[in-house]
Amino acid sequence: MEQQLHSRWCWAAVAVSVARFYDAGTSWTQCRLADMELGRSDCCGAGGKGPCNVAGFLHTSLARVGHLDYWTGAAASFATVRVEVDQGNPFCARIAWNQGGAHFVAIFGYTEGGVTADAGLVSVADPWYGNSDVAYTEFRERYRGSGTWTHSYICQRE
Long-range contacts of 45-50 (CB under 8 A, 24+ apart): 48/5, 48/6, 49/6
Q: What is the pLDDT of residue 114?
A: 67
The pLDDT assigned to 115 comes to: 60
Q: What is the pLDDT, as a whole number, of residue 63? A: 98
List the 147-155 sheet strands across, edge first.
Answer: 68-72, 147-155, 91-97, 102-112, 120-126, 130-135
The β-bridge partners of 92 are 106, 153
For residue 116, the model assigns a pLDDT of 66
Q: Mean pLDDT for each 10-residue chunk of the chain (158 residues)?
A: 96 98 97 96 79 95 98 96 96 97 97 75 97 96 96 94
Q: Domain coordinates of the chain in residue numbers?
A: 10-66, 70-155
